[in-house]
Structure 1
Amino acid sequence: MDPVTHGIIGLGIAALSGQPLSIENPLVVGVTLGAIAPDLDVVVKYWGNYQYLKHHRGVSHSIVGLVGISLIITFGLSLFYKEASFLNLLLWVFLGSASHTFFDILNSYGVRPLLPFNNRKLVAGILMLYDPFITVLSLGLIFVNVDRATKILATIILVSLYISFRILIKNRVKKILDNRYKISERKDKLYVLPALMNFFKWDFIIQTKKYNIVGQINFITNKVKIRKKLIKPNNKLIKKAYRTELGRYFREFSPVTHVEIVEQDTNIELKITDLRFYLRNNFMHHVTIVFDENNQVIEEAFHPYKYDNRIVVQSA
């Protein structure tokens, strides 16, 4: 989710405390800062988009990172709000920061919450990067004047129902696609994730032995749109490309990719595309790895957000 949405969620959590929503209240300031702070890894952009995407949602989103962030924010605020209880403030700041990781797990990028001890990424893939329901619910907590117990109970019920609803819809979409394309019968692979810009649509990728099929389905009308049907190449250089530094990173970055092979005079270029995110008729993230006539890597380049963006990671 974007930082603004995380900040609104933080204010919503602060509203559950029953205390006044004022900048003079350290709890409100702390929870809001905690909800935004994990995305301060954006400073890594100073070293370029490759380093940013490589480290984004890393340690700052992990449990260890959240504890560290909460301690820093609480200690900083205690210097200005000397009357505040350190432990009480720390608890609420941690709730704010934990909400950040929780909702990031629910979208399609995911989070590695156990860093630095375990690199496993948790991805639920049920919420959009910007989710209107969660935003409206948080605004309701801020502006609707009801007693604290009612707010807490309503929040638990509504968030639980909404997450359950999104899981049910995702499973329903999977079933529709499975019946239509015989995915289970053919032992193909299916990936389903929320559309980037439309609450009522879900994106999907079907991986067969011969094709990568990318499309979108409307869960209200069940209408399916196939965006791309890509032929899967068979070349020994593909495995070698994934063993490069950039290839290994991209495989961790995306669970579903497509490889296109382009011959250029004596060189061979492998273009690896992340099939998850499709915006303005193009896929967002790409990698190109170039081999010479002796099948040696001579260049690795990362193309974040659009193919025209080109960052050379390694060059012979």
Structure 2
Amino acid sequence: MDTGTHVVMGIALGGLASLDPVVASNHATVTSVLIATIAGSQIPDIDTVLKLRNNAIYIRNHRGVTHSIPSVILWPLVIIAVVYPFFPNANLLHLWAWTFTAVFLHVFVDIFNAYGTQALRPFSNKWVALGVINTFDPFIFGIHVLGIFIWVFGANPGYTFLVIYAVIIAYYFLRFHAQRRVLAEVKKLIPDLTDVIIAPTMKFHQWRIAAMNESQFFVGKAIGHEVEILDRFHRIPVPETPVIEAAKKDKNLSAFLSFSPVYRWEVDEYNDFYEVRFIDLRYRSNGHYPFVAVVQLDCDLKRISSYTGWVFSEKKLRKKLSIIPS
């Protein structure tokens, strides 16, 4: 989920903790739990700072080790080590329990996004992405904000957020049902389907579709359960040519390939350089595919420049390639 949603979820957990009689009976525990649940709802995304270095490192590592099983165990201890000295009269066991819940819930809800997490590390590096909830879901964010306002105006926060979380759980089941209906329609349109990614958008009834069979890629959208195929591409295996193999050694393209499960590729030859481009098919927007990896090589197959990330026009891509140092 996005940062804002994680923040309001941390506040909501702090309110929900008031139902715990041990927490409710001790002011120091109440305050420390609220601080710790807000921190716990944020700390797995500490790897966002990697974006300050470059996109390749960010793509390879975001929602990776910081969302792993060891980290879910470690983060509550880190937070408690910082918070507890300021509230030595707080109940340590219950402070840990609610902090752990906040960290676990952060990682758990991220699994339902299309981006997913490597939540099974160290047992598996597989990305777990169920793709039923958009990274920012207006309903989930809005109902949390509503609950916070109700709390501010004097309602019992524990029972308020208990009701809200019951509604959210029902909402998740509804999203799974909607995704299954879209999948059924995709299978009707592409009977020889071998793989499909159905990803949510911010609009409840709209979905992005990237599918494939043995010979083609299909890119489409669904509104409700009505599916429209927008683009088709021949599925051509990536050749093991010297140009491609040299490009794959680049950190930006390597990061892209470690993250993207469905893409097409292009190689263009100019007078004095080659350009290799890989295009993720999951994020079509207004006829454009904004998530790409591009590597430029000279005639000796030495890297000139490269880039991976989101670009929404060819002009901006050219500018990014021109400022990336070789």
TM range (shorter): 0.7 to 0.9
Structure 2 CA distance, aligned partners of 1:68 and 1:311? 42
For residues 112-149 of structure 1, the C-alpha deviation after alignment (integer angstroms, 9 at most, x for no partner) is: 11334532221111101111232233235432635846
Code of the residue aligned with 2:50 in structure 1: it is: V
Q: Percent identity?
A: 24
The alignment yields a C-alpha RMSD, in angstroms, of 3.1
Between 1:88-97 and 1:44-53, the stretch displaced more is 44-53
The CA deviation at 1:265 is 2.6
Distance 1:208 1:313, change over 3 A: farther
* Aligned-partner SS, 2:107: helix
Structure 2 CA distance, aligned partners of 1:93 and 1:223? 42
* Aligned-partner SS, 2:258: helix
Query: Is the CA contact (8 Å cut-off) linking 1:128 and 1:199 kept in structure 2?
Result: no
Query: Is the CA contact (8 Å cut-off) linking 2:40 and 2:76 kept in structure 1?
Result: yes
Structure 2 CA distance, aligned partners of 1:293 and 1:49? 26
Structure 2 CA distance, aligned partners of 1:312 and 1:101? 35
* Aligned-partner SS, 1:4: helix
Structure 1 CA distance, aligned partners of 2:212 and 2:272? 31
Distance 1:86 1:211, change over 3 A: same
In structure 1, the residue matched to 2:74 is: 68
Distance 1:248 1:300, change over 3 A: same
Q: TM-score, normalised by structure 2?
A: 0.81
Q: How does 1:79-98 map to 2 (within 5 A)?
A: 79-98=85-104
In structure 2, the residue matched to 1:100 is: 106
**Structure 1: any 5+ residue segments left out of the alignment?**
none
Query: Is the CA contact (8 Å cut-off) linking 1:127 and 1:166 kept in structure 2?
Result: yes
Code of the residue aligned with 1:168 in structure 2: it is: H
Tell me the matched-pair count: 306
The CA deviation at 1:299 is 4.9
* Aligned-partner SS, 2:233: strand
Between 1:301-310 and 1:169-178, the stretch displaced more is 301-310
Distance 1:242 1:98, change over 3 A: farther
Q: How does 1:36-185 map to 2 (within 5 A)?
A: 36-142=42-148, 143=150, 145=155, 148=158, 151-152=161-162, 154-155=163-164, 157-179=166-188, 181=189, 183=190, 185=191
In structure 1, the residue matched to 2:233 is: 230
**Structure 2: any 5+ residue segments left out of the alignment?**
19-23
Structure 1 CA distance, aligned partners of 2:270 and 2:216? 24
Q: TM-score, normalised by structure 1?
A: 0.84
Query: Is the CA contact (8 Å cut-off) linking 2:220 and 2:227 kept in structure 1?
Result: no
Q: Which protein has the bigger helix share?
A: 2
Query: Is the CA contact (8 Å cut-off) linking 1:287 and 1:300 kept in structure 2?
Result: no
The CA deviation at 1:56 is 1.0
Distance 1:217 1:14, change over 3 A: same
Query: Is the CA contact (8 Å cut-off) linking 1:64 and 1:114 kept in structure 2?
Result: no
